[in-house]
Amino acid sequence: MKYTDEVYNAAPSSEPERQLYFIDLCSQFVKLKTKELGRPLKYSVITFGCQMNAHDSEKLKGILDKIGYTESDDEISDFVIYNTCTIRENANQKLYGHLGHLKKAKNTNENMIVCLCGCMMQEKHVVEKIKNSYSYVDIVFGTHNIYELAELIYKRLSNDKPVIEVLEAPVNTVEALPTKRKYSFKSGVNIMYGCNNFCSYCIVPYVRGRERSRTPEEILREINCLAEDGVKEIMLLGQNVNSYGTAFIGESEIINRNPDYGFPQLLNDVCNIPGIERVRFMTSHPKDLSDELIQVMADNKKVCRHLHLPVQSGSTEILKRMNRRYTKEQYISLVERIQNNIPDISLTTDIIVGFPGETEEDFLDTLDVVEKVRYDQAFTFIYSKRTATPAAAMENQISPEVIKDRFDRLLKTVNRISAERAERFNGEIKEVLVEEINQKDENLLSGRTDNNLMVHFPGDRSLIGQIIKVKLNECKGFYYMGEVI
């Protein structure tokens, strides 16, 4: 097989036909190589970051499977792809650590292809660094063209130079390509891409672009197919699901805005799909969470009793400078409305410590919110300066010593409250979606309640994928030991 420009140029221009054409060409390459080497060609997808990235990785795996690569259990294989995250500086450092190890491996396997994609690649200075210092990287692409993986692989095969294709903004959205779900019985579904909120510390709007919703028809069609395929639990994904429907993909914001059909209506429609038994969603911005949504959640038992509601800070002054557009009081009042209407809800949150200018008093406000809300779980982050975000240029960056002290105090508080919250289920019988064999003890199964609480219990692996009743016997802080009833 010859990898030529002519073959490349003969590709159909419409999608997904174009990608299917390249998948076919790449699969011929994999077949030949497999024969030549006398062993299957393997791939590894290493994912950093959030649920969105995890879901994107399932799409990458779907394409690689279709091409004929076999998934490897190891990080090093014939096709290694890192799906990167850049939300905090340590996410970036992690990638460079991994890349360092890869160089030696690449020298001993001439067939190896190294590929980088995801949020970090949307940053120009990162791509420059990769070009200059990591010449053994073969393919680089960003968040807007992951569907082009097969095309980019073909380009790399037909050309001896690295292929770097990062789009600044989305040109096309192609959903109708194969995906490989980690679990057969649960799946993430993108309902929107991007973010318009520009919280002053956050790089996401710069690397994921403007908010774009998928149409309800397309989302519901996808979930119907998933349900037919045995999926019971759906996680609706978006950076800010509560503003779903403001602007649709590829069309004008003004023409498409339909105030009568937003996230609450979509959630309700998803719950009505036969076969779907649980619906989760992530992430909610407090400023856009409507009473209508609370009502839909309260009325609909299929909506899991878990809400992730990032607070970021408890101080109104800091929230203002974070550009979060709510006050401490508004957040607490929203939580009260949620807890009053959905008494069994579990709340989780994200908190940033050490935002520029954060005083001890501001920090005490954060602790106060944590005590008042009593989160089931809180993800705590040290503020990380992100290039080009407004907060990076703010004065009064906080010293590492002060941040560490606050971070430790916050962690102590959230851990104590989490453990107290988890205790409330002691002795209860809960419905659990059985997910997998326990990773540490193969005699146990692991699953989740709809509150997102992890439970481990003895049982037969045939239960995996089923929703069963489990008695929560012993609280171990963040998880339970239980027994099947």
Q: Name the residues that contact ligand SF4, by CB under 6 A.
A: 195, 197-199, 202, 204-205, 239-240, 285
CB-based burial of residue 295 (10 Å sphere; 0-12 exposed, 13-18 middle, 19+ buried)? middle
Cα–Cα distance, 15 to 249 (Å, whole number):
15
CA-to-CA separations, 218 to 213, 221, 222, 426, in angstroms, rounded = 10, 5, 6, 42
**Minimum separation from the CB atom of position 49 to ligand SF4 (A):** 12
In degrees, rounded to 5, the angle at the alpha carbon of residue 130 between the alpha carbons of residues 126 and 131 is 115
Please state the closest distance from residue 394 (CB atom) to ligand 5AD, in A: 12
**Window 347-366: residues binding ligand 5AD (CB under 6 A):** 350, 352
Q: Does residue 456 interact with ligand 5AD by CB under 6 A?
A: no
Q: For the beta carbon of residue 446, count every other beta carbon within 10 angstroms.
A: 20
Quickly list H helices, 236-288: 253-256, 263-271
Candidates 177-185, 205-213, 382-390, 468-476; binding stretch for ligand 5AD (CB under 6 A): 382-390
Residue 195 interaction partner, one of ligand 5AD, ligand SF4, none, beta carbon < 5-8 Å per kind: ligand SF4
Query: Is residue 51 near ligand 5AD by the rule CB under 6 A?
Result: no
β-strand pairing of 346-353 with 212-213: unpaired
- Give the Cα separation of 371 and 365 in Å (integer): 10
Q: How far apart are CA 250 and CA 309, in angstroms?
A: 29
Residues 77-136 that bind ligand 5AD (CB under 6 A): 87-88
Which pair of tokens denotes residue 245? 């429907």
Q: Name the burial class of residue 399, with classes exposed (0-12), middle (13-18) and buried (19+) by CB atoms within 10 angstroms of its CB.
A: exposed
- Considering beta carbons, is residue 350 or 371 the nearer one to ligand SF4? 350
CB nearer ligand SF4, residue 52 or residue 271: 52
- Min dist CB 205 to ligand SF4, Å, is 5
Residue number, 54 or 157, with CB nearest to ligand 5AD: 54
Pick 377 or 446: Cβ nearer ligand SF4: 377
Binding partner at 205 among ligand SF4, ligand 5AD, none, C-beta below 5 to 8 Å by kind? ligand SF4
Nearer CB in complex with ligand 5AD: 277/362: 362
Two tokens, residue 355: 């935002």
Give the nearer residue to ligand SF4 in terms of CB position, either 179 or 239.
Answer: 239
> What does the binding site for ligand 5AD look like in residue numbers (CB under 6 A)?
87-88, 201-202, 310, 312, 350, 352, 381, 383-384, 386
